Structure 1
């Protein structure tokens, strides 16, 4: 029997889609901080995330998105710390329901030059503050309780 995919296959053109996201974190003075980025269109605060990639594990795909969207490089854990849902482009005919599986990445380096630096802002904040800044309630709950020591 072949292994099950790490994501839900889309049911038709408007079915639920799966994305992989990164909770990029660092520890400064014994306090955890997480890295948020803005969306390119609305400027809302989110975590880096994107679509599955052929040949990449879920965690590797999340790490690639962390690099492209935030310039973050580090060690990813192949352990899903939570899942949240949202609608991509909710006010358009192209609206897509999505679920995002989140993987922790301990950031070792934050680059000044990275692919999406001109279209996004980034910010280090406490998990509690991050929970207040993001729009999605499920993501907020995951960020609020995020503790890298338990993974």
Structure 2
């Protein structure tokens, strides 16, 4: 997690500030992150929570302020930014970031963002590193496959698919920013989808060959199927963007892509928790609840984006509206697939906790 120092006291804080009523809160948060920390990326319009702190005004009064927090997936760090000479920025582990801030509510919020078990799983030697690579991902799968126990290990496969999904989601977030790297980001989505296809084939093969499975066989196939639907739709969206040579993306498309980035992150945290559903049932429910909430938020954004596109092209270029509607359709299906993942996880928790 990236923190910055405050200008007055030098304590570690997150970028924040006031915003005009005409600016969406998450957009204002992204602007503050650029000005105060010099970072750009996809900001999810669904907040992860809020905290309160006491802010000293110019008059000398010390008043309580409520802060809504939005996750921003950093894709670029600027060498120069507005408040570079006034603040220090530094990357922390989540545990160290929680210790560094003074506000108790913010500390709890940072801790709740933790995906420690997933990170530990991703660092296991010979386990998931092949899909964590940004290049040469294809040839590594055969090596990974040989390391799997003959009895099958579904949890490692779930987590491997989650790594591919997170990487594809991050690429999707960068893709809708446009620019000269558009084709590179589309290509990464295609490669990650290929990794996911190989993983799901291994899951289905292992389901057939394994006598005792950790969950009902239908739940296993439904879970990995829903995850695979999400990354398949990412590939479909990237293909449509390349086919129609889309270079400019509306704010609603960027917001939906940011929801996709955060949804993939949430799924990646949930996968290792399935190793002990009884112990982790509460946290799994929190994560699935966030996925469902983001899907509802995405529906609102999708409707607003379609309406804006229709109004912009109703008397002009109908083809342009059809293209934008196609992109929105794929973005909506990606988020819907993540909601399906949440529903399957909830079913597993009900059956096994």
* TM-score when normalising by structure 1: 0.73
- Select 2:75's aligned residue among 105, 108, 111: 108
Residue of structure 1 aligned with 2:87, choices 105, 112, 120? 120
Tell me the distance in 2 between the aligned counterparts of 1:96 and 1:49. 16
Query: What is the aligned-residue RMSD (CA, Å)?
Result: 1.8
Structure 2 unpaired stretches of 5+: 115-261, 267-290, 292-353
Aligned counterpart for 2:42 among listed residues 75, 81, 87: 75
Partner residue in 1 for 2:56: 89
1:52 corresponding residue in structure 2: 19
- Asked which structure has the greater CA Rg, the reply is 2
Measured against aligned partners, the alpha-carbon deviations of 1:93-129 in whole angstroms (never above 9, x if no partner) come to 3222100000000000010100000000000011111
Report the structure, 1 or 2, having the larger helix content: 2
Q: Does the CA-based 8 Å contact 1:127-1:145 persist in structure 2?
A: no
1:66 aligns with 2:33: yes
Tell me if the contact between 1:85 and 1:97 (Cα under 8 Å) persists in the aligned partners.
yes
Supply the distance in 2 between the matched residues of 1:74 and 1:53 (Cα, whole angstroms). Answer: 21
Higher strand share: 1
Q: Counterparts of 2:97 and 2:112 in 1: how far apart (Å)?
A: 11
Higher RCO (Cα < 8 Å, 6 or more apart): 1
1:75-109 Cα shifts (integer Å, max 9, x gaps): 0000110100001128x732221000000000000
Residue 55 of structure 1 and its aligned partner are, at CA, apart by 2.4
Q: Distance in 2 between matches of 1:116 and 1:133?
A: 21
Unaligned runs of 5+ residues in structure 1 are 1-33
Number of corresponding residues: 118
Greater displacement, 47-56 / 61-70? 47-56
Moved beyond 3 Å, runs of 4+? none
Partner-residue secondary structure (3-state), 1:65: helix
Distance 2:75 2:20 in 1: 23
